[in-house]
Amino acid sequence: MNTYYSKRDNNKKQGLIFTCLLLFLAMVCLIVNYAVNHLVSWSMYPVGALLVIWATVIPLLVMKKNKATGSFLGFGITILPFLFLIQYLSPGKGWFIPLALPIALLCIAALGITLLALKYLNISKWYGAAIAVLLFGVLLNFLVGKIVDRYINKQDINDTARYVTIFGSALLTLLLGAIGYIKGRKKRI
């Protein structure tokens, strides 16, 4: 038997099983919500989350090539509508544009940069990890803190915990980069 077709069929089966499982979970949430409340309300939170999970995971299961890109696109396309759905369903309004949107876009950008670096820069996993820690632990940590500070109109917040985590992340970035450098030198020798 041709292993290409059997592997491809296996991927399709895994994708179908995963899809059916998530549909089952979504239906359970909807049925329980309707049975208890006689309307569909809170079940939209898990159903929306299951949709984000499906769009993120299904490319990993069924795509032959560019799985990480497909997963990234699935996540990136579905996370913003999901956050908007949360705002729509929750009693607190007006936080999507000033708070969730910039934070989500920054996270999507950092994830995209990390994936591009790993795919196209031909760097070791150690350097890739250093880039991810630098982007998420240092840059995003700082920027998200500023966005949150602006949203809650606080200028005098004690940011000690944030700066400690930024400093720790910077040290971890240097450590991962050093390990990548040392391991790279050993390979060349």
The per-residue pLDDT for 27 is 98
Domain ranges of the chain: 1-93, 94-189
The per-residue pLDDT for 5 is 54
The per-residue pLDDT for 187 is 77
The per-residue pLDDT for 6 is 63
Report residue 77 as tokens.
Answer: 């396309």
Terminal alpha carbon distance of the chain: 44
The CA-atom distances, in angstroms, between 139 and each of 8, 178, 180 are 40, 20, 21
The per-residue pLDDT for 60 is 95
Report residue 41 as tokens.
Answer: 């309300």
The per-residue pLDDT for 163 is 92
Average pLDDT along the chain, 189 residues, taken 10 residues at a time: 62 94 98 96 97 97 94 97 96 94 97 92 92 97 93 79 95 96 82
Q: For residues 55 and 78, what is the distance between their CA atoms, to the nearest angstrom?
A: 7
Is the model's pTM score more than 0.85?
no
User: DSSP letters along 41-103, please?
Assistant: STTHHHHHHHHHHHHHHHHHHH-SS-HHHHHHHHHHHHHHHHHHHHHHHSS--S-IIIIIHHH
